[in-house]
Structure 1
Amino acid sequence: MSSPAWGAASSSKVIEQFSRHVQQGFTAFDMADHYGDAELVFGRFASMYPHRDAIFTATKYCVFQKMTVSREAVQANIAERCRRLQTDKIDLLQFHWQFYQHREYLDALRLLTEDARVEMVGLCNFDTKHLLDVVEAGIQVLTNQVQFSLVDSRPILEMAVACETHNIKLLTYGTLCGGFLADKWLGRSEPDIYDGSITPSQRKYFEMIRSWGGWGLFQELLRVLRIIASKHRVSISNVATRWVLDFPYVGAVIVGARMGISDHTDENLASFGWSLNQSDLDMIEEVLKRSRRCEIFKDMGDCGSEYRT
């Protein structure tokens, strides 16, 4: 769940779609402390749902400015998350720290792992070096939420080894590039990012597509994905999702939900129950090797670096 900047609907429509997600088996929800009213909306739904124990709640504790880390400050943030989510415990609290040079993030993480209200602690947009710093400090984190897609495969280069070595799973966002990795964009001309129909998310990922190889190569990728999708009787989005999910160090793909506005639960279900074979992977690789995927790592830095420049 994201902020209202991606669109908003009435409470009744949001609650209705929440129910539909859960009934279809999508029972894990991810949000953040700074995503507008996402936690409040989720808390409202979860408090009314008769089987709340079946719902997995993941949110974030994001520090964007220099702060003095204290037990009181960390406990106050956890208390606020619980209040907004209407819960006594948070299944997964993911921690983001903006300025690595201020190493108090290790103190904050230790305090998070000691709080009984937090079942599991994860990271958000940590690069490999600082993820390893956390591990080497003896702090147990189970996940790291990062951008990962056919267009941004930076986790493959360094993060993968660290995650497999220390049994940390990636929770990936941007896997559908804000909706660009979809059938509706196959054969389409390059979009005007200032068009009113383009979402803030799509403006962000369109720049990634440009950096990766441009709209022409992206169309080649979509054509290959359509061939593979037809073979498996699924959509381009399903193939893009499956490609990321099949990496052993990926725990889950986070698909953005514009609750009450667009509903892709049936389509998302089609990402399960099959896998890409070697022939499929080879076809995709033929396109990817002509992209600037390695240059993106050099230009942007490791996972999460784009938020710290």
Structure 2
Amino acid sequence: MSIPDIALNSGTTIPQLGLGVWQATDEETEHGVRYALDEAGYRHIDTAAAYENETGVGRGIANSGVPREDIFLTTKLWNSDQGYAEARKAFDASLGKLGVDYVDLYLVHWPLQNEERLLHTWDALENIAETGRAKSIGVCNFEPRHLQLLIDRGGMLPAVDQVELHPNLPQRAIRAFASGHGIAVESWSPLGGTSNSGWGKASKPNTLLVDPIITRIADRHSKSPAQVLIRWHLQNDLIVIPKSVHDARISQNIDVFDFELTDQDLSELDTLDNGNRVGAHPDDMNIGAPD
């Protein structure tokens, strides 16, 4: 098994499939990360300061048999730490919890509602990238107008925009805009979220894993609905980070390179676009914003 890489505009590459750890405790994360690296073959781990499990990620990496340089590690700046000095301090804190001296990708978690502060935050990320302590920098939950703000500013472009993305919310406008500017798109809640991930103004619990179209396609390929959804992301040239803390599911989620979705499958999946989110829309998200 070989996980494909996606080239980033920073000159590095990112494994197209990784392990997400949102909503996992430190203990669950430590075990899951070590298992994913040592037993399942993952080389890409995605966490965030707001997940409060960076310490578990660091322990999982340290206790694995995989060299640090062979692991692509992402973490994110939380909303309350936006601003130039605040972001640099928060980045140092994340490195300390992770127990590493660099990350491969550092992301702004949300754009929030203050463009001036966001630009100061991006100045800090550029500085961090220039020191080599973040090999690439990027953003999460940025709409095209937020990306345009950074484009108009000049300087480094985000390498990645990580957004909620799944067949109910394929984010075609963001993907088209990002592609036109050489920005890779990464999918969070790629399986449609978990049973307790519904939040935000228009949230809903996951229905994709039991959707009759997806289960029918899964039956055709003798695969699980989750594996079908992961293939959908891969075949749409998206970076995908399904989360699990269960060994069997961690292994199953990476066992997706022995089949392909057909044109008929993909056409059927296209019909699931209904705009439904499990998370907040960036326009509605200002939780934790500094005063």
- The TM-score bracket by the shorter chain reads 0.7 to 0.9
Aligned-pair Cα RMSD in Å: 3.0
Counterpart secondary structure, 2:51: coil
- Quote the Cα distance in structure 2 between the aligned partners of 1:125 and 1:7: 21
Aligned to 2:12: none
Cα distance, 1:87–1:226 mapped onto 2, change above 3 Å: same
Q: 2:124 aligns with which of 108, 111, 116?
A: 111
In the aligned structure 2, how far is the partner of 1:7 from the partner of 1:45?
A: 13
C-alpha offsets along residues 191-217 of structure 1, whole Å, 9 cap, x if unaligned? xxxxxxxx422x449x6458x9xx7xx
In structure 1, what is the equivalent of residue 137 of structure 2?
Answer: 121
Q: SS of 1:170's equivalent?
A: strand
- Give the TM-score of the pair, scaled to structure 1: 0.73
Instruction: State yes or no: 1:99 paired with 2:95.
Output: no
Q: Report the CA distance shift for 1:14/1:89 in structure 2 as closer, same or farther (over 3 A).
A: closer
| 1:20 paired residue number | 35
What residue is the counterpart of 1:29 in the other structure? 45
Q: Give the Å deviation of 1:78.
A: 1.7
The corresponding residue for 1:253 is 240
Match of 1:140 in 2: 157
Q: How far apart are 1:306 and its partner, in Å?
A: 4.5
Larger helix proportion of the pair: 1
- How far apart, in 1, do the equivalents of 2:36 and 2:57 lie? 12
Residue of structure 2 equivalent to 1:195: none
- Aligned position for 1:235: 224
Aligned partners of 1:237, 1:90: CA distance in 2, in Å?
Answer: 28
Q: Secondary structure at the match of 1:119?
A: coil
Q: CA deviation at 1:16?
A: 4.2
Does residue 54 of the first structure (1) align with residue 39 of the second (2)? no
Q: Secondary structure at the match of 1:200?
A: coil
Distance in 2, matches of 1:103 and 1:96, equals 16
What corresponds to 2:255 in structure 1? 270
CA 1:104–1:245 in structure 2 vs 1: closer, same or farther (change >3 Å)? Answer: same
1:281 corresponding residue in structure 2: 266
Say yes or no: does 1:200 pair with 2:196.
yes
1:84 corresponds, among 94, 97, 108, to 97
Matched, 1:304 2:278: no
Structure with the greater alpha carbon radius of gyration: 1
Contact 1:146/1:304, CA 8 A, preserved across alignment:
no
Could you tell me how far 1:88 is from its partner in structure 2? 0.9
- Conserved 8 A contact 2:110-2:282: no
Deviation at 1:223, TM superposition (A): 1.9
TM-superposed deviation, 1:262: 5.8
1:58-98 CA-to-partner distances (Å, cap 9, x unmatched) read: 00012247x6x33x433222211111111111111001345
1:44 equivalent in structure 2: 59
Q: Secondary structure at the match of 1:172?
A: strand
Give the direction of change, closer, same or farther, for the CA distance of 1:292–1:118 in structure 2 (3 Å limit): closer
Q: Cα distance, 1:110 vs. partner?
A: 2.3
| Aligned CA distance change for structure 1 residues 134 and 231 (closer, same or farther; 3 Å) | same
Q: Which runs of 5+ in 2 are unaligned?
A: 1-19
- What is aligned with 2:4? none
Whole-angstrom CA distance in 2 between matches of 1:2 and 1:57: 12
Identity of paired residues, percent? 20
Q: Offset at 1:308?
A: 4.5
* Pairing of 1:4-15 with structure 2 (within 5 A): 6=23, 8=25, 11=27, 15=30
Aligned residues: 260
Shift, 1:266, TM fit: 2.5
Counterparts in 2 of 1:305 and 1:263: CA distance versus 1, 3 Å: farther
Distance 1:56 1:275 in 2: 25
Query: By how many angstroms is 1:20 displaced?
Result: 2.2
CA distance in 2, matches of 1:247, 1:304: 23
SS at match of 1:118: coil
Aligned residue type for 1:284: L
